[in-house]
Each structure stands twice: as structure tokens, then as C-alpha cells.
Structure 1
Amino acid sequence: MGEADLEGVRELRSVVRWAADPGAFELLRGTRDARWAVAELPGGSVAGMVGAVPLGGVGILCHLAVREEHRGSGLGSALSRWAVACLRGRGVRVVRLYSTRQAEGIYGALGFRPVCRRTVYRREGEGLPAVREPRGYRIGALLMGDLPELYGLDYWSYGGDRSHIIFAILRRHPGLGLVARDRAGRMKGYLIRSLSGDAVRIGPFMAEDFRVARALLRRALADGGGKRIEAAVPEGPESPAHALFRSFGFAGRSERLRMELGDEPGEGGGLEQYATTAYLAT
């Protein structure tokens, strides 16, 4: 994918509705080491596209899109194989994606295994439960000086290096990050928001325990200005994130399937994930 392809890519994304979030594509396109491919018809128009975003040991296959009239031709599989090969060539151990129901068969045939469905939670309106900051913790604005510690803690918790994505979100949406620290000043949770039209998206959102997560979420909602709030939770039913969002009046809907290919990234522990980013498998 070159600069000359971008007009055709954006036109493709406008007709493939499930891939039509321009903010996600533009943010990931600028991520360091990200690579993109297009499938062109003889006349030069774009029939399909895919992205490959390496995050250390984790690689993201994203934004696979094929025009409806070219589906079933093997084009989706060819683009996916290109992305996997690209990520493998950069030392990625596990390739991760979120699949629509229509594409699950393509990825399964390439060896991807299903992991869990992603639940998207949404909340409208005002009114918040009374939640105090947990004793011994302080919640405040995320500052640039917090980022080195946040990057290290996120890597330990997530298993991949999302620092460039996190920085890009904060640069596009300054002042929307929150951090929780204990009395000793150690980071025990963080929540990052981004704006999308009339909605506020939450993620990444991690915390040491339910109390810290609850206090971070309430602060985020109190600052929301009555906008619709959305959060994507990629974990299974055992995740405390489901109970957290429901306790604040969020309604959830299960949607895309998380699938992975290769070895699991090393588990370091760290914080519990309460919401991922709005940028698909990241």
C-alpha cells in the first residue's frame, strides 16, 4: 500500500461497513513497523486490503476488507497469508485478530484457533453510583511523565508492546487519560479514553483489582459530559470486567471472535485487563 492507494482504500472502507472506522485505520497506519497490502484490479482500483501491525511478540492482523463482488475468490485468504508472513518475518510469536462471523472460516482454514468473543458495552445518560476512591489510592490525570512506567506495566500485563498505539491515542485525544497510584506512588491502574463522534471510547483500561477499576471508571464517567460511553471487553465470562460495567448500567453485546495463531506470549502477570483499545485486536 502506497500513498497513491489511499483514495481507493478509503473508498473501499466506505463500502465495507464493518471496517469503516476511519480513526482506527489512520491511527494504526502510522504505527511504527506497521505494514499494509492492497489487492488491485487491472484498472488500478482496490479490491481488497489488510494490515499487519507487530507489537513485540504479539502481531495484529487487522482491517481485512474485500469487495463483495470478489469474495469467495480466495482473495481474503491470500491477503491474510501475506499479513501472517509479514508478521512472522518480524519475529512475532502469536498473531491475533478479531474476526467477523463471515470471516471465521477463512482464518480457521489458515490455522487460527478461536479464543473468546469480544463483548462491547455501551452506556447512555447521566446518573452515577456513589463510589469513593479506594483508601490508600489517588486517581488523577495521566501525564506525559507517567508514560515510561505505564508502557512497562502495560507490556507486562498485555504481553506485547503497545507503547506506540497508546502514545498515538493520547496525542490525538490529549487530557483523556487517568492513572491510579498507591500511597508509595506506584501505578496500580490506568484508563485511556478517545473520542469518536458523539461517543467516548474506553481502552486500554487496566487495574490492580476491582476497587481501583471501579474508581477509575466512575471518574471517567463523571467527566464524560453525558456522551455515550463504549468499552470493548475481550475476556471470557470469568473476567471481573463484565460485573464492573454492568454495575454502572452498561448494556453488553457479544460480537467479534478473537482468534490466534502461534504460541501464546509469555505471561508476566501485571494488572487485570478491563477493556482493550478501540483498535480491534490491540
Structure 2
Amino acid sequence: MLAFTDTGEKKERVLIRGLDEADLGGVRELRSAVRWAADPRAFELLRGTRDARWAVAEAPGGPVAGMVGAVPLGGIGILCHLAVHEEYRGGGIGTALSRWAVAYLRGRGVRVVRLYSTRQAEGLYRSLGFRPVCRRTVYRREGGERIPDPAPLCGYRVEALLMGDLPELYGVDAWSYGGDRSHLLFATLRHHPGLGLVARDRTGRIKGYLIRSRSGRSVRIGPFLAENSRVARHLLRAALAQSGESPVEASVPEPPGSPAHALFRSFGFAAGSERLRMELGDGPAPGGGLEQYATTAYLAT
């Protein structure tokens, strides 16, 4: 696939191709040039996720002019980490990379492609047929603040998430989310061992879970799902207690009326930046299950 970019004097051909090991240095330089705001470890984590694929835009002479990731999760696919070097913007590279990612995901049987857009990129995605769905709000809480005491959680228990819990957790998550995030969940727990919590009812069935990850001094929450707000409150309190003095962040991808917003505000979180969630195609039918209170820090999920 070829894209064209206007340098001001002439149009140059830019090759869109799969990323290989020799491109990693150029990818790091691109990330630095575009001042990537995402967790720098997210790219490395996702490279090891099953069936994830990456493409780069190669300019004449070899520099990496752009990149994109495509991660299939069953019926849902994620278009992520789209970046184009400022020198090459406006020439169709972002469109070509996005089309590459969509084509790969469609080829894997994905029914809906999901992403989170900045304001600057919204027009690009709309031109490809993506539609806005809702906004993701990032909440942040500084460490050292008092943690509210929740009402007793009768009939439930909150405990550490163990590797033996994963088969049941994968099933509960797929039912609730509508896609297969098992490889993403496993990779997150492998990179951040001991940072998962699970809530069970009297019968021992999973009724909620919360996974944390560390980024520098900060702790990020997600995925975070629960049967109801009472279970969610106890999971969040336990996570904050274990996070100590560290600042804590959570990304909430829900409409303003979602109980997740009220939950995080009640624990002293302040709303910050927002991004627009956009989708292409028909999403999977809601399967019920647990309600999502926060997403993973690594993907637009």
C-alpha cells in the first residue's frame, strides 16, 4: 500500500508495511517526536498480545513517518497508537494507516472497530465511517487522602486475584465486555503481578474484579468490573488502601450518568482529560454480566 505526502515542493511516496524488529528504533524516535502521552510500556505489552499487528509508514530514505496498531479481541477490534510525524502530516498517511488497521481487523472477523480519538483526529475517523459513541474521562486522586469507609458488604468477600481464578475471570469478562480480552488480561497481570483483586459471593462466583498497573509513581486502575455499585465500592477501597501514597488514575468510558462517575468522585477523584470513543461497524449484542467501571490503561477498551 502506498500513501503520498506533500513536502511543499513535491509529493513523495510513503510505503505502508508491517512493522519489523529493525523499525523499533524509528518507532521510539517517532514516539518522542509526537510527544506520546500514553504509557510508553503499553506498546511493548501489546506487541506480545496474540494476533496483534502493527504497521509503519516508511518515508524515502527509511525514516518511520507513522505507525498504527490493530488488536483483535474476538468480535471487537481495537485501532490504537496511530501517530504521524509532524513533517509528514496532511498527506494521507494517517488515513492509509487507519485503513490498513481496519482491513486487518475485518480479516480477523471483527464486527466492530473501536478507538479513542483526539479532537484533531476526529475528522479523519469520521471520514472513514467511524461514529462517536461516548467520551472517556480520566479521573485522578492524589495519594495520602483519607479513604471513605463503605457500608458492610454482606454476602461478598474481596481477596487477591490468583492465577487459578483466570479461567472463570476470562469467561465473566467476555460475557460482560462482548469480546475476548483474555490475552490482554494475562499480559497485564504478568507485567504487574499481585495487583489484581476479585470479589466473590457466598457461592464463590466472581461478582467483580479490579486490576491495577504501575506507571512511574502512579497507579492505574483497569479493567474494573462489578455486579453493582456496592461491590465496586469495596473493590475500589481495597485497591486504594493497597496503593498507599501513590497517585491513582482511572479511565471511565461511560456516559455522564454512569454510576462509575459518582463512585470515583465519592472517593475524591477529580475529572480530567477526555477523549471521544468512536466505533466502526455493528457492536456485539449486550451480553449482560458485570458493569464496567474503568478500562485498561493499555487499550481503548
Matched, 1:265 2:262: no
Whether the aligned pair in 1 keeps the contact of 2:210 and 2:221 (CA below 8 Å) is yes
Q: What are the residue-to-residue correspondences of 1:91-240 with 2, within 5 Å?
A: 91-126=109-144, 127-240=146-259
SS of the aligned residue for 1:18 comes to coil
Q: Which residue of 2 aligns with 1:83?
A: 101
CA drift at 1:266: 2.1
Counterparts of 2:270 and 2:262, CA distance in 1: 11
Q: Which segments of 5 or more consecutive residues in structure 1 lack a partner in the other structure?
A: none
Counterparts of 1:97 and 1:266, CA distance in 2: 18
CA drift at 1:193: 0.2
Counterpart of 2:52 (choices 27, 34, 38) is: 34
Counterparts of 1:87 and 1:130, CA distance in 2: 45
**Segments of 4+ moved more than 3 angstroms:** none
Whether the aligned pair in 2 keeps the contact of 1:12 and 1:47 (CA below 8 Å) is yes
Counterparts of 1:161 and 1:20, CA distance in 2: 23
Counterparts of 1:37 and 1:95, CA distance in 2: 17
Counterpart of 1:58 (choices 67, 76, 79) is: 76
Alignment deviations for residues 87-124 of structure 1 (CA, whole Å, 9 cap, x no partner): 00110000000011110010000000001111000000
RMSD: 0.9
Amino acid at match of 1:56: G
Q: Which residue of 1 aligns with 2:26?
A: 8
Counterparts of 2:152 and 2:21, CA distance in 1: 48
**Shift in alpha-carbon separation, 1:49–1:235, aligned structure 2, 3 A:** same
Alignment deviations for residues 169-196 of structure 1 (CA, whole Å, 9 cap, x no partner): 1000100000000111011000000000
SS of the aligned residue for 1:101 comes to coil
CA drift at 1:125: 2.6
CA drift at 1:267: 1.1
Alignment deviations for residues 122-147 of structure 1 (CA, whole Å, 9 cap, x no partner): 00032111125511100000001100
CA drift at 1:265: 1.2
CA drift at 1:20: 4.9
Whether the aligned pair in 2 keeps the contact of 1:84 and 1:95 (CA below 8 Å) is yes
SS of the aligned residue for 2:121 comes to helix
Q: Which segments of 5 or more consecutive residues in structure 2 lack a partner in the other structure?
A: 1-18
**Shift in alpha-carbon separation, 1:173–1:228, aligned structure 2, 3 A:** same
**Shift in alpha-carbon separation, 1:22–1:114, aligned structure 2, 3 A:** same
| Structure-1-length-normalised TM-score | 0.98
**Rg (Cα) greater in structure:** 2
Amino acid at match of 2:90: G
Q: What is the total number of aligned residue pairs between the two structures?
A: 282
User: Identity across aligned pairs (percent)?
Assistant: 79
More divergent stretch after superposition (143-152 vs 126-135): 126-135
